[in-house]
Amino acid sequence: MKITTRILLLYIAGVIIFFAARSVFVPPSFGELGHFRAKSMEEIASIQTKVGENFECFDCHVKEYASWSVGEHKGISCMSCHGLIKAHAKSPDKHEARDEFLSYEAYPSIVDFCLSCHAESPSKPANFPQVTIEHGREEFWNCTTCHDPHNPVR
pLDDT digits (tens, 9 = 90+) for 22-75: 999 988 888 888 777 878 878 877 776 655 567 778 888 888 888 888 888 888
Rounded to whole angstroms, the Cα distance separating 85 from 79 reads: 8
What's the mean pLDDT when you consider all of the chain? 79
* Domain around 117: 107-146
Give Cα separations from 35 to 31, 100, 144 (angstroms).
Answer: 5, 36, 41
- Do 32 and 72 fall into the same domain? no
The verdict on residue 152 lying in a domain is: no
The verdict on residue 151 lying in a domain is: no
How do residues 69-79 score in pLDDT, each as one tens digit?
888 888 888 87
The verdict on residue 153 lying in a domain is: no
Sign of the torsion angle spanned by Cα atoms 105, 109, 110, 111: negative
- Do 52 and 89 fall into the same domain? yes
CATH number of the structural domain spanning residue 60: 1.10.287
Number of structural domains, the chain? 3
The whole-angstrom distance between residue 48's C-alpha and the CA centroid of its chain comes to 14
Neighbours of 134 (CB within 10 A): 8
